[in-house]
Structure 1
Amino acid sequence: MVRERPVVLTPQGKAQLEQELEHLRTVKLPALVDRLQQLSNEGDISDNSEYEDTKEELVHTEARIREIEHILRRAQIVTAGDRERVHLGARVTVVDDEGIEETWVIVSPEEANASQGRISVESPVGSALLGKRVGDTVVVQAPGGETRLTIKHIE
């Protein structure tokens, strides 16, 4: 039997997944089922692109529900770690060579969302920062080239 690895989530990440799951189950899924029923009642569905698109969206929604349920079953919540080193769940402020400051939360791949400032521990930046201290400088090899980041603050 294959053992599944646990999914380490921050409390925020777990809450976001639970909210998404609730929305999918109570709002989106019923709306898609209703829309399919409505389109089916309107007549010939054999050549109806809206019916096919809605059916495909229903399949994707059901798959996302199963995925979230699977993640939540395996979830382990990370507790606040030490503020001395970068760890999963830490909020890290870094500054690059040009003086541009950015703040990220280091999270598991399942809850990563760069537009929300949540980067994966497995990303080039996340893995380079992991275990480092305030004042440490890391060199990140990314697709866009090499970047040097100095850790300014860890929460």
Structure 2
Amino acid sequence: MSQDTNFTSEESDRIEEELAELRQRRDQLRAELQGDADTVGDRGDAADALQRSEDLAGVEEQINRLTWLLAGGNADTPGQVPNGTQVTLRFPGDEPVQMRIVNFLEETPAGEEDTTLTADSPLGLALFGRRAGETVTYSTPRGELQVDLLAIELPNKR
């Protein structure tokens, strides 16, 4: 049975506050993990680093879940970026490009193949839970790539 995700303004504000706190915690954990990578330690240090890594995964999962709910996603299904979301991206060395996210390639309007990406593509999945201003890393067959997320406009926010 699906849960209703129509939030009051007060509920949305409370979720936004929680998201801000979770994002702060995520950034803190990332910094600590980077510090762990820069130091040599014993097994206890390795166990602490492993725990921080697991904590980071849990925080990111919660960020994704709350972002999904705020975007109107069903509370019972973990999500992807909602269909119809518009994003403005800057790939390294290129000008900003606006792209539309679709659930299925068949939803791509004729002539817009170069400015459409699927929600379940590596980049589409990496964009989930992200905010404008963040640099997003995603995996490709050629290795990890990065893109700057300049703007994101969810379909129900237009």
The two structures share one fold, judged by TM-score above 0.5: no
Q: TM-score, normalised by structure 1?
A: 0.41
TM-score with structure 2 setting the length: 0.40
User: Larger C-alpha radius of gyration, 1 or 2?
Assistant: 1
More strand by share: 1
